[in-house]
Chains A and B, each alone.
Chain A
Amino acid sequence: MTDAGRHVRHCARPDEPTTLTDVGTSWLESVSGTTTRELTALRPDLAALIAELESNAAANVGERTQQLMAIRAAQMVGDPEFLAGADATLVEQATKWPTHPEVTEFERAALDVCESFIMDAHSVTDEQVVRLQRLAGDDGAVGVLLNLAVIDGFTKFRKVFTQGGR
């Protein structure tokens, strides 16, 4: 965790519940272990818009690239259930992306940015973005980053709210 991240930690007041047990029966308990789609269904007005954004983002870069980035993010954040349900061939390719012969130059550039983005968005360099733009144009570069925003957010969202993260 970064120094900045440490400051975000909330300090509970003495009378404030600090565990789910303290809180008692809550919606969190009822959804624990469920999927992202089930979690977002708690806000039906947002669920359709989120699904549309995910679909649009995936279409911008292609489902294969989107899946490779989602798998790599799941590996980095620690989401074993997502990985268990993913295509084994793609998991193998995402694991060995720097040298795997089936991974294209564009996918390599996207996965390179993916790793930096997941670890710390500050670390994404001009060179990485220029490489994406050279390979996929401005729209492609925006598409990769939009996918990463969705993937990063929802991978961590699952990590916080579900047992296995599906």
Chain B
Amino acid sequence: MSTSPRLRGPDGKPTDSLGAALARTPFPALYAQFWSHGIVDQPTKEVTRLRNARITDCGF
């Protein structure tokens, strides 16, 4: 379990920004497409995301 931010941002200082960690990957585009399309409605996706976040202790 993380006890402190494990990454450094562009300024070299520790950050817990998931966006900063994934900004240089194709993940944001996939995530945007996933959330904006598909047969599962957004409230259901959000409930699932929150449940998953609770299980994994994800602060995001």
Contacts and interface: CB of A to CB of B under 8 A. Distances in A.
- Co-complex (A, B): yes
Interface stretch (A48-56, A97-105, A155-163): A48-56
Contacts of B2: 124, 126, 129
Instruction: Bin chain A's interface residue count.
Output: 20 to 34
A142 B4 contact: no
Interface in A7-25: 8
B34 A46 contact: yes
Interface string A108-125: 000000000000011111
B56 interface: yes
Interface residues of B, number: 24
Contact of A4 (B8, B22, B38, B55): B55
Given A57-B25, A142-B7, A122 B56 contact: yes
Contact of B1 (A122, A138, A146): A122
B33 A46 contact: yes
A8 B55 contact: yes
A123 B56 CA distance: 11
